[in-house]
A and B are shown apart, each in its own frame.
Chain A
Amino acid sequence: MNHLFPVLTGIAYLLSLILYVRFLSTGNRLTGRLGTLLLGLGLVAHYFALWERSRGSHTVPYHDLYGSMSLFGWLLALTYLGLELYHRQRSVGAFVLPFILVFFLAAHLAPADRLAPPPVHGVVFALHVTLSILAYAAFALSFVLSLIFLGEERHLRNHKLGDVVWRLPPLELLDQMSRSSVLVGLISIAIGTALGFVSIDQLPGQNSFYDPKYVITLLVLALYVLYFRLARTTAWRGARASKLCIFNFVIVVLSFTVVNLYLSHSHRYF
């Protein structure tokens, strides 16, 4: 197997992280732009690494732990880049890149999968998985943004600004970015879940529609809809909404780990 693209991806993400951290600590705009450029290059190399892997194993890459985590990292990077360009705000990059890098590296360090691939195939199923992982990535991003919001808000309330707070996005922008990210996640998970039911329906024989994964997915959907409404109105706007967003992501992590690994029969890795 060719290691060129994974190595290029790792280097690009690592350099991008270094440049984003430097941008955050010095405020040098050129460094920030280079960080974005390298993230873009990393995304392209990562795409080819995923593509090469799927070609080599004759299956879509998210049929195993590697694929699931690597695709998560790629979609997180893609969502973040989209958000950065849309909101013209790159000081958050230093906080998001570690997650991307960790998922990318963990995917490569993950043990080889011994489980049989799931029985479902086809474009609808591929879209179901991709959109579900995109939703998790978007929720992860809103989680990071909410953490930054709470940290910055705390510093502003305590009048301890330091160097970094001046370079972080304004609180209202962080709030907006978090909501944008949740919106991407909500749309993705809604369509992805619908496509999941469609793909199960296409399977021959009697299929069970009772899986703990469905319950927790609906719970996640409901919680994020609630967040989306509360974050824009009423007494919840601001720090309280950010705390709710963090809580919601804990449920997502539970869904991604405990439910997937121990309770669900058909959602091993996504």
Chain B
Amino acid sequence: MEIVLVGLNHRTAPVEVRERVSFNAEQAQRAAEELRARGILEETLVLSTCNRSEVYGVPPESSHESAPGLSTFLSEFHSVRSDILSVSLYYHYDQEAVRHLFRVAAGLDSMLLGEAEILGQVREAYRFAHEHGATGPVLNRLFQGALEVGKRVRTETELGTRPMSAASAGVKLAERIFGKLSERKALVLGAGTISEQVVSHLRDRGIAQLYVMNRSRDRAEELAKEFGGKVVEWGEWDIALRSPDVVVTSVSAEEPVLRREIVERAMVARGNRALFLMDLGVPRNIDPMVAELYNVYVYNTDDLTGIVQQNRNARESEIPLAQGIVEEQLSKFLSWQASVELVGLVDALRTKLREERATFIRSRMEPMKHLTETDRAHIEKLMDEMLEKLLLEPAQRLRDEKELRRKIQNVEALRDLFLSSREKP
């Protein structure tokens, strides 16, 4: 019951290679079927995201022996030269493969430490493989363990809670003031790349209504169309600032676009409803004096960058806690694996010893003609009882062994001592 993992990710392969080795759903299913049909793997699961493509499997033989076959398969499947692929691929076996997957599910192996999306991707990959019958008892257990790791890390640590970009930090700050944004409105000044990023985050957080204001109306309409917003005419501040709760500015201008008197007038019209202003322009688009107004919160690029840095440090400080969860769940998985192996081993040993006993009795009892059939059956029964006792007591001790490393070593020793490679379960 060994596990093998072959894959590549953002650390080992450039994007040109990653995009060639990625799997869509149809490819993932076809790859799993072919791997099993060719006898390379008995159980298979393909995990493919923007930053990684990994094949997890349970090989029929030793996990190390299956690795070259997997590498060749990937090369053929994606028509990528093996020399290009070989420098990007990593291989993990058994315990290390399990640890790797648990770290992936925890977000510890992600490009953006603690990102939340990966857990959903692992869940989806498992659901897909399971529905198509590609997984078996080992991968089922392994991926259920991985999902538990991911869930625990997100519940018990703060690895993924803090925003890591200025745009997402700004949106999270808006939530500190308003709570859920699903009943809030936002106005975006400027329609460049930065505005687009913020709008994307606002949409992800379910903003109810989006207004776009830009000097070039065409570009504003383009952005509004892309994200389902409405265009507001440039400069119509009294109308534009009356309803939104969040205002994002990212326009190229030498002087502040939102001056104090404009916002002051808007606040009167709004009945002092709180207003969150995110100034992502350099030079700044919002007059710093605006921050003095009652119920107005202003954050500029430097403020948001400072918050992102704090969050990065906070996330990094959570790594030991997340790793502790990974190791704890790894021990649980290995303990389960050792127990399952022990059951298989005891069954194999029982079969072998019974065969030995049958041969032994046949050869030794042949000359003993005075024994009746009842006597022979009685002797066979006694020998069976003795074998069972000899077998069960050490197995029970092994099962009860508390120290995982010792348990695994003893299971392996028992297997090596009594079974040939052909007989191993």
Q: Which residues of A contact B (CB under 8 A)?
A: 26-30, 152, 156-157, 159, 161, 163, 165-166, 168-173, 233-240
Contact = CB atoms under 8 A, between A and B. Distances in A.
A173 B181 CA distance: 12
B272 A238 contact: yes
A29 B156 contact: yes
Contact of A234 (B156, B272, B306): B272
Interface in B153-186: 155-158, 161-162, 172-173, 175-179
A159 B308 CA distance: 12
Nearest 8 pairs between A and B by C-beta?
A170-B179, A27-B158, A235-B272, A238-B295, A159-B303, A173-B179, A171-B177, A29-B155
B143 to A, nearest CB: 23
A172 B183 CA distance: 12
Contact of A172 (B173, B178, B294, B314): B178
B243 to A, nearest CB: 16
Contacts of B178: 170-172
Contact of A165 (B156, B176, B303): B176
B314 A161 contact: no
B156 A159 contact: no
Given A166-B162, A171-B177, A157 B297 contact: yes
B156 A156 contact: no
B176 A156 contact: yes
A28 B162 CA distance: 14
A156 B176 CA distance: 8
Contacts of A152: 176
Contacts of A172: 177-179, 274
Contacts of B161: 27, 166
Interface residues of B, number: 27
A233 B299 contact: no
Nearest to B299: A159
A238 B175 contact: no
A170 B294 contact: no
A238 B162 CA distance: 26
Interface of B: 155-158, 161-162, 172-173, 175-179, 271-274, 291, 294-295, 297, 299, 303, 306-307, 310, 314
- Chain A CB within 10 Å — which of B157, B291, B295, B314 has the most? B295
A156 B307 contact: no
Given A166-B161, A166-B162, A238-B294, A233 B176 contact: no
A34 to B, nearest CB: 12
Contacts of A235: 271-272, 294
18 contacts: A27-B161, A28-B156, A28-B157, A29-B155, A157-B291, A157-B297, A159-B303, A159-B306, A161-B307, A161-B310, A170-B175, A170-B178, A233-B271, A235-B271, A237-B273, A237-B274, A239-B294, A240-B294
Contacts of A170: 175-179
Nearest to A27: B158
A234 to B, nearest CB: 6
Contact of B176 (A27, A166, A238): A166
A89 to B, nearest CB: 10
A166 B272 CA distance: 24
Given A170-B176, A234-B272, A30 B310 contact: no
B207 to A, nearest CB: 15
A188 B12 CA distance: 66
Report which residue of B176, B303, B310 has the largest number of chain A beta carbons within 10 angstroms of its beta carbon.
B176
A233 B157 CA distance: 39
A104 to B, nearest CB: 30
Contacts of A240: 294
Nearest to A236: B272
Contacts of A239: 294-295
A30 B306 CA distance: 30
B308 to A, nearest CB: 11
A171 B274 contact: yes
B271 A156 contact: no
Contacts of A234: 271-272
Contacts of B272: 234-238
A233 B272 CA distance: 8
B7 to A, nearest CB: 32
A225 to B, nearest CB: 20
Interface centre among B172, B178, B179, B310 (most CB of A within 10 A): B179
Contacts of B177: 156, 170-172
Contacts of B294: 235, 238-240
Nearest to A175: B274
A171 to B, nearest CB: 5
